[in-house]
Amino acid sequence: FVKTLSTRLADYSDKFIGEFLSAENIIDLLERGQMGPVHESLFGRISHRSDWKAERLGGIYQQLKPFFKAYGLKEGRDFSHKGIYVEEIKTSLTRENMVMVALLNGNAEGQHRLSNYGWGQVQVNAIVSKLNGKDIDLVEGIWDLFDHNLWPELQGLNERTRGKSPPKVEALPYTINGRLVTGGYMRLKYDTDLDMTAHQIQEGQAVKELLGNSLGKSAKTNQGSSTQRVKGVKLRPRLDLGVFSEAVAETVHDLAYREAIADTFRMLNNGAVQNAILSAQGVAAYLALVQRVREVAAPPRNPSGFLGKTLSFVRKRTIVVLMSGVKTALQNFTGLFPALAKVPTGLLLREVAAFYSPKMGERIRFAMEQSAYMRGRLEHFDRDLSDMSRQLTVNGTIMPSTAVSLWLMGMVDRGVTVPVWTAAFADGMEKFGNDDAQAVDYADKIVRQTQGSGRDVDMAEIMGGRDELWKVFTMFHSYFNGQLGLLVTVGAISKHEAKTNPALATARFAAKFMVIYVLPFVLTELLMRGMGDEDDPEEEAKRWAKVFVRYGAAMIPGLRDLANAADWLATGNFKPTFKLSPIETTVETAMQAPSAIYDILSGEGTDADIRTSIMGTSVYLGLPGKLISDTVRGTNAWLAGEAGPQAIILGPPPKQ
């Protein structure tokens, strides 16, 4: 009963693996780095369905894009913001509200729920009469998606998993301004701002679906579109297109994962499989696999409540402002080095040379044609970016989308991941006897492990969770968590190899440590801050040692922030630079922007004021602030003779 130090350390190691490693890395430990039947049984199917889900949502967006793009800029802006007075109900509704009324009026259940607002058919007809041709086209497009596109797939899924399908919601055709519309299905969600009971119901359903029916021993996806409607509900339905985008996300999530989740849980609950995982990696690793499957099964959720919505908004603005810089994008090139820990050097060098040649387009097309994961990677290569997927609604903003603001980062990621993927594919073809399917899976896995990934199924427990507050403290962590997982797995494999050949295992691990950790950290430091101008070699060595430790600390949320605080205390520099989240920087800069702008207009502005004013204004407007700031300040530095013309792209030289 008295635990020894070695026993405690083993317990900590198990818990660390369970919390900080992704499911794929845990399975990699079980198979000693080989991709075999355990990987396919416990991860492969969910992974494939995750890629299917991304492509399916992309296809739906393309299907409805013409309806959304039909609205001009002003029309799009007014769509969700400008009220239109309706005499029959003595109040104003936005065009978005009216579109939702038209959608709900297309079936009997929807008509009944609209009556909970006190509206009869006279009032509903008066509301929908305000719609124009573009609005009606959008309404018909949404009905068509649900009734003729998604419903047949749901019907087939229900028949396979339940033996029967609930009855289809029947359409009720009616006329809008003399135009006959088909009617159709629209998901019913209730106005949580008007009725707290609805909020409690939705939260209860989410918890139930997360835990399943057996205190977490089973996992179910959200099956709202497959459930027969309940009669007698007195709650008022929500009248925003967020209901539509949420319904699409939940339906596609169910289609993607219901069967895969059930199969994976059957495997995890199998006694032989369970005992094998427990004996090989411990309880924490097994529970981590169970938790990841449960979280994947949970329904997609939008932020709720004032705090959640505010944090989500600020977090997204932080991403756009801070990640838009050229140096930030170029840092992704360091990801080529960790790939050397998994891919033969000769193959990777050959593919890098082929990519950066006239064959670039050919290599990109090959990877995209072969791999669903690579086709969707730009949408989910980082968790913080994947949260910013386009919403299925009319967007009337003049500000650039996230994809536009971060286009350079996406280009650099492709410039790294495509040669890594093609090299791993060639290696996989040799490993698996020219089996294309296995080689593709292998190449996908190598890219995820060496470059990071933001898919739900690829996140470690520390990166998981749906709480917006927790996401704030784990921002920009996907890449470092991937490097941490890679280090732990190669270390565990080397430890196993050392039982037979210690010298060879040590040499291999040292080489892999160099490419996974040392080279990326050195190149990142040189890119961001240069060599420095320390005249004292001892001080220069201290600086590099400090950076070495801080790079490693960045792999663990909390520890990375404590490392910054320790440096602050050790140097005696009491400038308050210690921040628990990048959001603090964004909020602080936004608050200081008015003062900085005033100083500039007064003729007393400094370079710091220029940076603060640009970055702060970008927070308010959602602009790529880092990119704009670096360009403006870099140009000023070049014109002043303080830097070369490269500063226009890379920004001014760092202050030493």
Compute CA 544 distance to the chain's CA centroid, rounded to the nearest angstrom. 33
Q: Could you report the per-residue pLDDT of 149-189, keeping only the tens digit for each?
A: 999 999 999 999 888 888 888 999 999 999 999 999 999 98
Nearest residue to 516 via CA among 328, 335, 330, 346? 335
3 state DSSP class of 179: strand
**pTM exceeding the 0.75 threshold for the entire prediction:** yes
Res. 430: pLDDT tops 60: yes
For residue 341, the number of C-alpha atoms closer than 13 Å in the C-beta half-sphere is 32
**Helix H or strand E segment including 357:** none
Structural tokens at position 468: 């917006």
- State pLDDT tens for residues 270-299: 888 888 888 888 888 888 888 888 888 887
Q: How many CB atoms lie within 10 A of CB 241?
A: 22
Map tokens 């459930």 to a residue.
Answer: 227
* Long-range pairs for 634-641: beta carbons < 8 A, 24 or more residues apart: 636/607, 636/610
Q: What is the pLDDT of residue 574?
A: 47
- Work out the angle at residue 382's Cα, subtended by the Cα atoms of residues 614 and 60, and round it to the nearest 5 degrees: 100
- Tracing tokens 């732990």 back to the chain, one arrives at 488
φ/ψ of 84, rounded to 5, equals -120, 120
Q: Report pLDDT for 217.
A: 42
Q: What would the pLDDT profile of 403-415 be if each residue is shown by its tens digit?
A: 666 788 888 999 9
Nearest residue to 632 via CA among 607, 597, 599, 600: 607
Q: What are phi and psi of 341, to 5 degrees?
A: -75, -15
Tokens 């990877």 belong to which residue? 367
Residue range 213-257, pLDDT digits in tens: 433 344 455 555 555 455 556 789 999 998 898 899 889 999 999
Checking if the pLDDT of 442 tops 80, the result is: yes
DSSP character for 339?
Answer: G
Mean pLDDT of the chain: 84
Of all residues in the chain, what percent are helix, strand and coil, respectively (each to 5)?
Answer: 70, 5, 30
Q: Dump pLDDT digits (tens) for 106-131.
A: 999 999 999 999 999 999 999 999 99
534 in helix, strand or coil? coil
Q: Find out whether 17 and 488 touch, Cβ atoms under 8 Å.
A: yes
Residue 192 reports pLDDT greater than 70: no
In 3D, which of 632, 646, 628 has the Cα closest to residue 408? 628
- pLDDT at residue 19 is higher than 90: no
Residue 469 vs residues 465, 556, 565, 581: alpha-carbon distances, Å: 10, 17, 21, 10
Q: Distance between CA atoms of 443 and 302, rounded to whole angstroms?
A: 32
pLDDT digits (tens, 9 = 90+) for 40-66: 888 999 999 999 998 998 899 889 999
Q: Which residue has the higher pLDDT, 364 or 402?
A: 364
| Contact between residue 456 and residue 22 where contact means Cβ atoms under 8 Å apart | no
- Cβ–Cβ under 8 Å, residues 502 and 494: no
Model confidence at 88: pLDDT above 70: yes
Q: 135-146: per-residue pLDDT in tens?
A: 999 999 999 999
Q: Amino acid letter at 415?
A: G
pLDDT at 534 (0 to 100): 58
CB atoms within 10 A of CB 644: 12
| Percent residues over pLDDT 70 in the chain | 85
